[in-house]
Amino acid sequence: MEISNSAPLAVDPAHAGRAQELRDVAKAFEASFLAEMLKASGMGKSRSEFGGGAGEDAFASMMVDEQAQLMVERGGIGLSESIFQSLWAREFGDD
């Protein structure tokens, strides 16, 4: 099975439930990856002046995680589809 990043993989309706489970796992992984990239870029870090203090620090990671989740829901960077296709190929081969 060739893995393509250009279009979503069409799946057999008999395996639709398993396909959704694998897509959910792939999307969760992409969201985690994006959250780490956003954190590395400085998103969610407190400002030195006029920052929100301890309250801002406490909720910054949740804001970054939610932003990453929203990015994935709107298409993300395509990582989840590639992961899904790899998981699908590993589980079902050339089905």
- Residue with structure tokens 């920052």? 51
Is the residue at 81 inside a domain? yes
Is the residue at 31 inside a domain? yes
Residues in the chain: 95
Predicted confidence at residue 3, as pLDDT, reads: 47
Predicted confidence at residue 36, as pLDDT, reads: 95
Q: Which residues of the chain have a pLDDT value below 50?
A: 1-4
Predicted confidence at residue 1, as pLDDT, reads: 39
- Helical axes 16-40 vs 53-73, angle rounded to 10°: 140
Is the residue at 7 inside a domain? no
What is the pTM assigned to this prediction?
A: 0.77
Predicted confidence at residue 13, as pLDDT, reads: 81
Is the residue at 44 inside a domain? no
Its domain, for residue 64, covers 17-39+54-92
Is the residue at 1 inside a domain? no
Predicted confidence at residue 48, as pLDDT, reads: 63
Is the residue at 2 inside a domain? no
Is the residue at 10 inside a domain? no
Token digits of residue 81:
């589809």
**Alpha helices by DSSP H, 41-78:** 53-73
- Residue with structure tokens 């099975």? 1
Instruction: Count how many domains the chain has.
Output: 1
Is the residue at 6 inside a domain? no
- Compute φ and ψ for 94, nearest 5 degrees: -95, 25
